[in-house]
Chain A
Amino acid sequence: MCGIIGCVGREDETLDVLVHGLSKLEYRGYDSAGVALTGDRLGICKQAGEIEALREALEARTLSGSAGIGHTRWSTHGPPTDENAHPHQDCSGDVAVVHNGIIENYQQLRDGLVSAGHHFGSDTDTEVVPHLVEDELAAGADPETAVRRAVARLEGSYAIAVVVAGSDAVYAARNDSPLVLGVGDGTGAAEDADAPGTGEGDGDAAADGQAYYLASDVPAFRDFTDRVVYLDDGEFAVLSAEGCRVTDVDGNTVDKPVDTVDWDPEETGKSGYDHFMLKEIHEQPRAIRQCLRGRVDEMTASVDIGDLGDLSPTGVQFVACGTSYHAALYGAQLLREAGIPAQTFLASEYATSPPPIGDALVVGVTQSGETADTLSALREAAKRGARTLAVTNTVGSTAARECDHALYIRAGPEIGVAASKTFASQLTALNLFALGTTRTGDTRDVIAALRELPSDVQQILDDSAAEAIAETYVDADGYFFIGRGLQFPVALEGALKMKEITYKHAEGFAAGELKHGPLALVTSETPVFAVVTGDDEMATKTVGNVKEVEARDAPVVAVTDGQSTVERYADHVLDVPETHPRAAAVLANVQLQLVSYHVADKLGRSIDKPRNLAKSVTVE
């Protein structure tokens, strides 16, 4: 939900580094932002609105300091206002805090602080933290101890970073919210990056010293270093010019491994597209290739998904949210086809009312690996003794580290808040999971179809009629999506995409369910997108459902490979290449992505940063 950045050791460049980092984190939240820099007095600037508003506010200020923290916010407590923007301060103004997560006992803490005479300036849960630190400092504690004691009183999820006047350090703590450290040199190293400190002739600052960064996600400081340390829950870190020290709950120093991230910082550029989402839709052939690379062998009909070991699950429970939930619905179907009992649960429901697990493998599907609801469901399953697997895009993420096994979808960074390429990669990876853990008769056919996916997707991208269809129906009252079998999750995903980026009403249904209620909503002003591929009994039945809506004068857009008779009842057709049913779901989804994108574009929506949404939702 929110994004945190911190840095020490960059001398005069601190502010530039923080603002640059915030711009890279904007996908996590963008309704207010702020920074705090150290010194004898703290320098603070915060502003409602996107990072650009903060940038403008900073132009009138001269903030400097050798350490600092920053925050970009997605509101949970209190509306997006200047007051509610982070960093938050104590009464004296000598403590500043940024926070991502939810402090569950904040009301109780706040009541105690208010009655002790503290004055609160915001509606946020976060503001209790600086006041707690203030009390500890007043009691004579040094800054590190003060922050440590304050954090110890918090319940809930948090990644917190604190600066204190008179101390050139950043104090940080993590519990259930992502926080990663970066280790670089004082020059802002990265050799090929276009970022502050890497431009012409400013290599004077602390050239020999070390610089340390902390952030909710690696892209925030990837331009400066590729060496990272992933913090674990309960850990506490102090970053200062002298070094970076990580300690556990009890204060014992922890020797953390330094990992190297291998992706290129500039993968997060828009490469000529108006929106990240369109770029990411077009990247799907490449993303699918990466997902499959080295993992399938058509000649021997074999799949190699690395060190997952022999999972041979006797049952599988998927937990996921949003787009990942739709991918999980598809994944469960693949396993059931192979005779393995498999179910899919909304992670937020599973976490609070889990079903009996038995000896099922519990699989969490999460792009970021940080989705709080999914992590919570996985932890609940682990607590009950279940084996867990994370299907994720993010190496080193919490889900990947906490689960017994991880399967990476290898889609590369996705910046658009509405998931596109990662859905295609999730479906591809779930095929690998199903093939790798089960035995079915048509393994070679499925592998061949997967290998053809990149070019089949490319064919859709080359020839899609989606933009013209979007033009026709941009003013519709609402949009319905229907599909059966493996195309049912695609119908749900098509509707979700439409909601997310066009702000228009859209619903996806199992094709057979339409007549049991939703048909009452269907009018001549509500186009129905019918996904019908193949020519089997399933397709024939869906064509029957299409006739039902056609008879109610609803415009019909068929997404089809032309094998069934659906085109006869359709006003428009979106073609997909003929292929295996498993691959057909990926292809149909690409057409629906394009329709939603073009409708949103024609409506002038904020496609990459839809209102009220954030990319990875790290609160429950």
Chain B
Amino acid sequence: MSIDTAVVLAAGEGTRLRPLTRNRPKPMLPAANRPIIEYVFDALVAADVTRIVVVVGYKRDRVQNYFGPTYRGADLEYVHQHKQLGSGHALLQARAAVNEPTLVLNGDRVIDTNIVCDVVEEFEATGDPTMAVLERPETSQYGAVVLHGGDVAELVEKPDSDDYRLINAGVYAFEPDIFAEIEATDRQEGELALTETISEKLTDGRVRGVRTEGMWVDATYPWDLLAVAEEVLARGHVGGTDRGDGVRVDPDATVHGSATLQGPTVVGPDCEVGPGTVVGPDAALGQNVTVAANATVRRTVLDSDTRVEAGSTLIDAVVGQDVHLGAGSVVPGGPADVRVGRQVFPDQRLGAVIADRVLAAGDVSFSPGTLVGPRAYIGTSVRASGTVAEGAEVVR
């Protein structure tokens, strides 16, 4: 009973990553310079999955347009979850498209293919529903798992103690009867959680929990994208041609001879990197990014179509798509206490989060920990700090 089908859940916005999710769902945010979900697809293709059903919802155009109907030889089929009513509900949308054993994965976390392979192997050996389990300290964020000799004994959502060591990696294998079981599950506050259905299965059957390891990185808040980038860059899981020392440059990028690239770093297709620039370490340039003369970009993610004009300095910055940073823009880097609403996250290594289509005219500086909303306009010589709202105009 081999598995060649997978359902990838990619319908949720990922609200804690706002303002970066203004125009796309979390799975389309960049892990270094490729969308997070692309790593999930890579892991599946490497595990010989040939058909991927993608559950899309929030800003689904972005997923569909980016990938189209196939990915590396695997067929992609899209099903639409109109309202985001939980992971079980999301999976249920794939019912008409799946009538064979299937993998189920979250599309918003970077994973390694051996996690997928371990689940497939266990499922094929036992025929029982299987889930991947990882040893991680942050159980409270992901839901804890208690194992008894390879069987899942208990799933604990939002555990209030740190006694647990194992988390649910969000990678499952099921028989198609999972759909009927989800339907039979009671809704909690209108939502259907997949973990709820699995918990019910524990009482009348067995669910295998396979201990696995390998890259598994998640971004909860916007600044986590820097750590995600560091992790995938360190592992070289990015595109482009290796120029040595972890410097990877796409063949369709133009890098001036006097530019200094410091690995690990990646430069995507259609990028232009000007003379005298210093890019890296830990810089990730998405497609069609422009870094003009004498700019410095370090530990920073620059997403597609963004332009950094001459003489700018960006350190510890997460920059969205189609952002224009005028000449002499400065993000001096973290650490900082980052404020999101009423919450304060102390001592984060964050220069700034600059959302899609922000225009900074020039000679703008961003205090450590600044969050700038999409389409904000920041006039010349402004010192931006705190939170700048979507579409706001800030002038001196």
Chain A residues packing against B (C-beta within 8 Å): 191-192, 194, 264, 266-273, 279, 282-283, 285-286, 289, 292-294, 297-299, 451-452, 454-456, 458-459, 461-462
Given contacts A192-B75, A272-B56, 10 further A-B pairs with CB under 8 A are A191-B73, A264-B70, A282-B61, A286-B66, A298-B290, A451-B288, A451-B290, A454-B288, A458-B322, A459-B357
CB pair B65 A285 closer than 8 Å: yes
Q: Which residues of B contact A267 (CB under 8 A)?
A: 68-70
Known: A270-B69, A292-B270, A293-B269. A454 touches B61 (CB 8 A): no
Q: Which residues of A contact B61 (CB under 8 A)?
A: 282, 461
CB pair A266 B270 closer than 8 Å: no
- B174 interface contact, C-beta 8 A: no
CB pair A299 B256 closer than 8 Å: yes
Q: Which residues of B contact A299 (CB under 8 A)?
A: 254, 256, 272, 274-275
Chain B: how many interface residues by the 8 Å CB criterion? 36
- Contacting residues of chain B (261-289) with chain A, CB-CB under 8 angstroms: 269-270, 272, 274-275, 287-288
- B366 interface contact, C-beta 8 A: no
CB pair B69 A297 closer than 8 Å: no
Q: What are 7 A-B contacts with C-beta separation under 8 Å?
A: A271-B69, A283-B68, A286-B66, A289-B288, A292-B270, A299-B275, A451-B290
CB pair B78 A272 closer than 8 Å: yes
Minimum C-beta distance from B328 to chain A (A): 19
Known: A264-B70, A270-B69, A298-B272. A293 touches B252 (CB 8 A): yes
Q: Which residues of A contact B80 (CB under 8 A)?
A: 272
Known: A299-B274, A461-B61. A454 touches B305 (CB 8 A): yes
Q: Which residues of A contact B321 (CB under 8 A)?
A: 455, 458
The distance in angstroms between the C-alpha atoms of A277 and B287, with both chains bound, is 25
Q: Which residues of A contact B357 (CB under 8 A)?
A: 459
Closest 6 CB pairs of A and B: A272-B78, A269-B69, A455-B305, A455-B322, A266-B70, A272-B64
Q: Which residues of A contact B69 (CB under 8 A)?
A: 266-271
Contact among B23, B74, B270 for A289, CB-based, below 8 A: B270
CB pair A451 B64 closer than 8 Å: no
Minimum C-beta distance from B270 to chain A (A): 6
Q: Which residue of A lies closest to B357 (CB)?
A: A459
CB pair A294 B73 closer than 8 Å: no
Contact among A191, A266, A270, A455 for B304, CB-based, below 8 A: A455
Known: A282-B61, A292-B270. A266 touches B290 (CB 8 A): no
- B345 interface contact, C-beta 8 A: no
Known: A192-B73, A271-B69, A452-B305. A282 touches B272 (CB 8 A): no
The distance in angstroms between the C-alpha atoms of A292 and B79, with both chains bound, is 32
Q: Which residue of B lies closest to A269 (CB)?
A: B69
CB pair B254 A272 closer than 8 Å: no
Q: Which residues of A contact B79 (CB under 8 A)?
A: 272
- B76 interface contact, C-beta 8 A: yes
- B60 interface contact, C-beta 8 A: yes
Q: Which residue of B lies closest to A264 (CB)?
A: B70
- B221 interface contact, C-beta 8 A: no
The distance in angstroms between the C-alpha atoms of A456 and B357, with both chains bound, is 10
The distance in angstroms between the C-alpha atoms of A279 and B60, with both chains bound, is 12
- Contact mask for chain B residues 173-185; partner A; CB cutoff 8 A; 1 contact, 0 none: 0000000000000
Q: Which residues of A contact B254 (CB under 8 A)?
A: 297, 299
Q: Which residues of A contact B270 (CB under 8 A)?
A: 289, 292-293, 451
Minimum C-beta distance from A456 to chain B (A): 8
Known: A271-B78, A272-B80. A192 touches B256 (CB 8 A): no
CB pair A297 B65 closer than 8 Å: no
The distance in angstroms between the C-alpha atoms of A192 and B50, with both chains bound, is 8
Minimum C-beta distance from A263 to chain B (A): 11
Q: Which residue of B lies closest to A285 (CB)?
A: B65
- Contacting residues of chain B (226-264) with chain A, CB-CB under 8 angstroms: 252, 254, 256
The distance in angstroms between the C-alpha atoms of A289 and B61, with both chains bound, is 17
CB pair B60 A272 closer than 8 Å: yes
Minimum C-beta distance from B254 to chain A (A): 6
Most B-side CB within 10 Å, residue of A272, A454, A462: A272
Q: Which residues of B contact A270 (CB under 8 A)?
A: 69
The distance in angstroms between the C-alpha atoms of A292 and B254, with both chains bound, is 13
Q: Which residues of A contact B67 (CB under 8 A)?
A: 271
Q: Which residue of A lies closest to B66 (CB)?
A: A286
Q: Which residues of B contact A285 (CB under 8 A)?
A: 65
Contact among B76, B252, B272 for A271, CB-based, below 8 A: B76
The distance in angstroms between the C-alpha atoms of A270 and B270, with both chains bound, is 27
CB pair A271 B68 closer than 8 Å: yes
Q: Which residues of A contact B288 (CB under 8 A)?
A: 289, 451, 454-455
